[in-house]
Structure 1
Amino acid sequence: MKHPHDNIRVGTITFVYSVTKRGWVFPGLSVIRNPLKAQRLAEEINNKRGAVCTKHLLLN
């Protein structure tokens, strides 16, 4: 993130900044206005997604 209104991208997760809602759009169409919270949430989702993929690969 180089500018305050850039999209937040962590791994394959991207939160798009909405100018009209003045925040990052979270899956489920809720809006997060705090950039630190949005970044942390994107990291959590990315980590959970990685854990599920790893578990799936180990089971096969």
Structure 2
Amino acid sequence: MKHAHDDIVVYAVRLPFIVGKNGWLMPWGEIVCNPIKAQRLAEEYSNRQEVA
């Protein structure tokens, strides 16, 4: 992530930035406005996908 409104990519998980909502779209449909929280959730989601 180089700019504040870039998509967040964690391994195979890509979180697109939604301009109208000013947040990142999570795979389960939730929009998260905090970029650090979005990245942490994406890492946890990616780890759970690897285990399954």
Q: TM-score range by the shorter chain?
A: over 0.9
How many residues align structurally? 52
**Bigger-Rg structure (1/2):** 1
Q: Where in structure 1 are there 5+ consecutive unaligned residues?
A: 53-60
Identity of paired residues, percent?
A: 44
Structure 1's consecutive aligned runs of 4 or more residues displaced over 6 angstroms after TM superposition are none
TM-score, length-scaled by structure 1: 0.81
Query: Pairwise CA RMSD of aligned residues?
Result: 0.8
Superposition TM-score, scaled by structure 2 size = 0.92
Structure with greater helix percent: 1
Structure 2, unpaired ranges of 5+: none
